[in-house]
Amino acid sequence: MDAVNPAQPTLTKKIHSCIRLEKDGRTLVIDPGAFSEPDATAGADALLVTHEHPDHFDEGRLRAALEADPAAELWTLRSVADRLAAAFPGRVHTVGHGDTFSAAGFDVQVHGELHAVIHPDIPRITNIGFLVDGPDGALFHPGDALTVPDRPVDTLMVPVMAPWNKISEVIDYVREVAPRRAIDIHDALLTDLARPIYDTQIGALAPADHGRLAPGESTGL
C-alpha cells in the first residue's frame, strides 16, 4: 500500500464495502451499509451509494448523517434516492451511467447499470459504480458488479467475496481492468481461514499490486 502523506488525499477502508476518501479537510464516503461501523458516515461531506442492498445502503444511517450536517449531500441511483429525497430537498441527487459530478472536492464519474447475476431466478436490480479522480489516477468502486470503466483505473476496489461471484471471476476482472493496484472490499463474509487463499491466488494471477486493508487502515491515493 502507498504511504499516507498528510498533504495528499487518503483512502480509509471500513468494514465490508464502505470506504472513506479524504482531501483538503473534506470527506467522501461510499456505501456505508449495515455491515460497516456505526460511525462510518461521521463527518461526511458527501455520501455515495451504489445500490439498495442493505450491506451497501442503510437508510437510517444515511438519514442520521444528512440530519447531522445540513450541508452534506448524497449521490445515488433512483431506488435509493426516492426513499430520501423528500426529506432532504436539493441534497439527494439521482445519477446513472455516464453522469459526472463533483462531491467533497472529488470529481466523480458514474459507470455501470446492473447488479451482477446472483441467480437466474432472482431479478437483477440497478447498480452503479463510482470512478473518483485522484492526483495520480482514478479510484473505482464498482458496488456489486464487475463493471469495467472506459478509462484507466489506478486503484480498483475489488469485491472479493459475494454470493454472486467466484475467485476466477475476480481474477479475470482485475486482469481486464488492469489497475496499478487492487484493494479488497466486499470481504465481511470472507473468513480468516480463506483470506490467505484469496491473497495468494489473486496476488499470483492478477497483474496488479494486490492487497487488503484492515478496517480503519489508510493508504495514500
Q: Would you say residue 134 has pLDDT above 90?
A: no
Q: Region 170-185: what's the mean pLDDT?
A: 97
**Who has greater pLDDT, 7 or 122?**
122
Residue percentage of the chain with pLDDT more than 70: 97
Local confidence band at 10 (pLDDT 50, 70, 90 cut-offs): very high
Is 174 a residue whose pLDDT tops 70? yes
Domain ranges, ordered by start, for the chain: 10-152
Would the pLDDT of 5 be above 70?
no
Of the listed ranges 5-14, 113-122, 211-220, the least confidently predicted one is 5-14
Class of domain 10-152 (CATH, top level) = alpha beta
Residue 7 has pLDDT above 80, yes or no: no
pLDDT at 158: 97
> Where does the pLDDT of residue 135 fall: very low under 50, low under 70, confident under 90, or very high at 90 and above?
confident
- pLDDT tens for each residue of 47-59: 999 999 999 999 9
Model confidence band, residue 6 (pLDDT cutoffs 50, 70, 90): low
pLDDT digits (tens, 9 = 90+) for 183-206: 999 999 999 999 999 999 999 999
The region that residue 176 occupies, defined by phi over 0 for left and psi between -120 and 50 for alpha, beta otherwise, is: alpha
Do strands 137-141 and 155-159 pair parallel, antiparallel, or not at all (unpaired)?
A: parallel
Q: Region 154-163: what's the mean pLDDT? A: 96
Residue 80 has pLDDT above 90, yes or no: yes
pLDDT value of position 56: 98
Mean of pLDDT values over 197-220? 92
Q: What does the pLDDT read at residue 11?
A: 97
Q: How many CB atoms are closer than 10 A to CB 90?
A: 7
181-185/209-211 β-pairing: parallel
So what's the pLDDT on residue 187? Answer: 96
Confidence (pTM): 0.95
Mean pLDDT score, 16-36: 97
**Average pLDDT score over the chain:** 95
